[in-house]
Amino acid sequence: MKDLGDMANDVADEKMIETLGSQELMHMKAIDAALARIHEGTYGLCATCSKKIPEERLEALPSTTQCIECQKTNERRRRG
> What domains can be seen in the chain, in order of their start residue?
4-79 (1.20.120.910)
The answer to whether residue 8 scores a pLDDT higher than 70 is no
Q: Which amino acid is at 40?
A: E
Residue pair 49/71 in contact by the 8 Å Cβ criterion:
no
Give the phi and the psi of residue 24 in degrees, each rounded to 5: -65, -40
User: In the prediction, which pLDDT does 7 show?
Assistant: 64
The CA distances from residue 62 to 5, 38, 40, 43, 45, in Å, are 42, 11, 16, 9, 12
Q: What is the value of pTM for the model shown? A: 0.67
pLDDT tens for residues 30-78? 989 999 999 999 999 999 999 999 999 999 999 999 999 999 999 999 9
Give the phi and the psi of residue 52 in degrees, each rounded to 5: -70, 130
The DSSP letter of residue 51 is P
